Amino acid sequence: MHALPAGACDAHLHVFDPCFAAQAPQAMRAHATAADYAQLRGAMGLERAVIVQPRAHGTDNRATLQAIGSLGASRTRGIAVVHPDITDAQLQALHDGGIRGIRFSLHTEHDAAVRLDMLEPLAERIAALGWHVQLHWLASQIEAHAALLQRLPCTLVFDHMARLADIADSADGAGLHEPAFGVVRGLVQQGRAWVKLSGPYLNSRAGLAAAYADCDALAQAWVVEAPQRLVWGSDWPHVTEAAHPPQTPMLLALLSRWIPDAALRERVLVDNAAELYGFD
């Protein structure tokens, strides 16, 4: 991996803190605290971070808020998970603590803390704060709920390259014509959506042994379609990959393969992230 530019951001990581009770104990992970990540971040040369509330902590966002403070409020943001009964005062407190969006991780119902019917009412409330909705959905869900996504009043951020594994599977790029790709591309072209270059293992069949090479076509498709609407994230500590965990620096190195142009890599790592998350 080339030397990172000043202000480089890891826009997707999770913190698990045993100091706070887990709402989904089976999803809890050890050795993934803010202090653990701080050591990794320093070794990799990253300066900014976005902490995404994990399933283990449910709607108790205290661990994420504490991690923001621990890693430095001026260079760290967070994505919360909330229910519609949250008060305006509680939303403002989250904002003051560095939260800039809410997540709907519905790719599987297992341990999910939110439901689809909560999305629209919450999107209407957070729009006033300038927050976005972050979606970890499968391509089939994006296609099925395209009309809902179009009418939401806030910015959308799609996790893990929008989970378009069909493109990763397609040697001839046929997957680029799949409906979900068109849905996300349309939202990007309207200036309403962003895509995270993260989680290649979630879109790969070849796996770690092949350095997720079959995911290159998908990543590069987004680089072509949305260069000004991309951010990169490590997805540390890679909770879905317990059997074959990747080394986080290797995942960062993939960015050079996906984006050979140094100026464009800097835009993704620095400028795009600063715009989306409000870094100075």
Closest CA to 33 of 73, 79, 64, 58: 64
Distance of alpha carbon 258 from alpha carbon 217, whole angstroms: 9
Cβ atoms of 49 and 12 within 8 Å: the answer is no
The answer, yes or no, to whether the previous bond of 5 is cis (omega within 30 of 0) is: no
Backbone angles phi, psi at 49, to 5 degrees: -150, 150
Cβ atoms of 200 and 208 within 8 Å: the answer is no
Query: Per-residue DSSP letters for 218-264?
Result: HHHHHHHH-GGGEEE---BT-GGGSSSPPPHHHHHHHHHHH---HHH
Distance of alpha carbon 71 from alpha carbon 57, whole angstroms: 19
For 60: left if phi > 0, alpha if psi spans -120 to 50, otherwise beta; the answer is beta
Mark 28-42 as b/e (b = at least 16 C-beta within 10 Å).
bbeebbbeebeebbe
DSSP 28: -
The angle subtended at Cα 111 by Cα 60 and Cα 105, nearest 5°, is 80
Q: Out of 159, 216, 235, 261, pick the active-site residue.
A: 235
Q: Is residue 235 annotated as part of the catalytic site, yes or no?
A: yes
Backbone angles phi, psi at 78, to 5 degrees: -145, 155
**Residues belonging to the active site:** 235
